[in-house]
């Protein structure tokens, strides 16, 4: 996404999937993820991220249509590399598309894409999205093999999976943070814009936000959960402030 230039050059993408999770628990229209996206934009979000999963467990096709029609900040569509999702992305032409691995049985996106092992499968998706003017990102583990594969695939952006970092503690967390920093530096050195996301919270975001090459963080579950206590505006603004302080 290329919304307003934030201080320190680090954009915040707010993932609104779990507003839809709550809505879908009762099958009605409330709470509306599009309304949440507009509120997040009003607060401090530079972009909105939404994952249209194959099983439509949270975001629906109608949500994507409404987001495209009503958002004034960029939409980053998270999608699996399937023909169905490609057709949807090409029809709506969001600002960006982040290709993620998707397993029906997982609770959330559990690991990064195997960009190296799935090169032949991914290449036409990266090419066709790119030709349509959509900024393609690959959601990968902070592993040099994956960055090198993203380079060969010609992806302009990678998003580094911070899930492991978020779940570790102590020395192990420090080591994972170094892997993320090294991966961000390797990507940037090779002309790929590095983003990061997954499992980020007020307590763990600062060391990640301090990695100078990172241009964007995508954060969802924690912000939506925190909004129950403080409201979405306050939760997004506090995250923005922590990110700014880290730069
Ligand atoms: N980035 C990607 C590619 C994701 O799949 C997700 C989860 O949907 C996120 C960021 C946000 O993760 P979280 O909801 O844990 O903040």
Would you give per-residue pLDDT tens digits along the chain (247 residues)? 544 445 568 999 999 999 999 999 999 999 999 999 999 999 999 999 999 999 999 999 999 999 999 999 999 999 999 999 999 999 999 999 999 997 766 666 678 999 999 999 999 999 999 999 999 999 999 999 999 999 999 999 999 999 999 999 999 999 999 999 999 999 999 999 999 999 999 999 999 999 999 999 999 999 999 999 999 999 999 999 999 999 9
Look up the CATH number of the domain holding residue 193: 3.20.20.70
Give me ligand 1 centre to Cα 169, in Å. Answer: 20
The confidence score (pLDDT) of residue 3 equals 46
Catalytic residues: 51, 78, 198
The confidence score (pLDDT) of residue 103 equals 72
From CA 49, how far away is CA 69, in angstroms rounded?
15
Q: Is residue 2 part of a domain?
A: no
Counting the structural domains of the chain, the total is 1
Give me ligand 1 centre to Cα 209, in Å. Answer: 15
The confidence score (pLDDT) of residue 8 equals 66
User: Percentages helix, strand, coil for the chain, rounded to the nearest 5?
Assistant: 50, 15, 35
Q: Is residue 227 part of a domain?
A: yes
The confidence score (pLDDT) of residue 189 equals 97
Instruction: Write out the residue range of the structural domain in which residue 154 sits.
Output: 11-246
Q: What residues are in contact with ligand 1 under a 6 Å CB criterion?
A: 15, 17, 51, 78, 98, 100, 108-109, 139, 159, 197-200, 218-222
Q: Is residue 1 part of a domain?
A: no
Q: Is residue 189 part of a domain?
A: yes
Dump pLDDT digits (tens) for 90-143: 999 999 999 999 776 666 667 899 999 999 999 999 999 999 999 999 999 999
Q: Dihedral of CA 132/134/135/139: which sign?
A: negative
- If one residue of 40, 79, 106, 109 were mutated to test the ligand 1 pocket, choosing by the most ligand atoms within 8 A of its CB, it would be 109
Point out which residues pair with 76 in neighbouring strands: 49, 96
Q: Is residue 87 part of a domain?
A: yes
Spatial contact of 10 and 247, defined as CB atoms under 8 Å apart = yes
Q: Is residue 3 part of a domain?
A: no
Q: Is residue 4 part of a domain?
A: no
The confidence score (pLDDT) of residue 6 equals 53
Q: Is residue 6 part of a domain?
A: no
Spatial contact of 100 and 79, defined as CB atoms under 8 Å apart = yes
Alpha helices in the chain (DSSP H): 17-26, 33-43, 61-70, 83-92, 119-131, 144-153, 163-167, 170-189, 205-209, 221-230, 232-246
Give me ligand 1 centre to Cα 148, in Å. Answer: 22
């Amino acid at each position: 996404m290329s919304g307003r230039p934030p201080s320190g050059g680090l954009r915040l993408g707010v993932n609104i999937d779990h507003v839809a999770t709550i809505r879908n628990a009762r099958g009605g229209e409330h709470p509306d993820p599009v309304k949440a996206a507009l509120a997040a934009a009003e607060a401090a979000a530079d972009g909105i991220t939404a994952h249209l999963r194959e099983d439509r467990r949270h975001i629906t096709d109608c949500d994507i249509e409404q987001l495209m029609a009503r958002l004034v900040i960029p939409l980053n569509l998270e999608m699996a590399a399937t023909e169905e999702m490609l057709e949807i992305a090409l029809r709506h032409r969001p600002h960006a598309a982040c290709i993620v691995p998707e397993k029906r049985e997982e609770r959330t996106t559990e690991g990064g894409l195997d960009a190296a092992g799935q090169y032949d499968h991914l290449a036409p998706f990266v090419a066709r999205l790119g030709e349509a003017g959509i900024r393609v990102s690959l959601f990968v583990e902070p592993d040099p093999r994956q960055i090198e594969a993203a380079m060969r695939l010609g992806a302009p952006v990678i998003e580094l999976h911070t899930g492991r970092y978020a779940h570790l503690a102590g020395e192990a967390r420090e080591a994972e943070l170094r892997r993320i920093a090294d991966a961000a530096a390797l990507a940037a050195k090779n002309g790929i814009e590095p983003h990061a996301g997954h499992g980020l919270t007020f307590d763990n975001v600062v060391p990640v936000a301090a990695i100078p090459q990172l241009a964007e963080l995508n954060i969802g579950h924690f912000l939506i959960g925190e909004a129950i206590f403080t409201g979405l505006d306050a939760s997004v603004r506090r995250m923005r402030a922590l990110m700014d302080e880290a730069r």
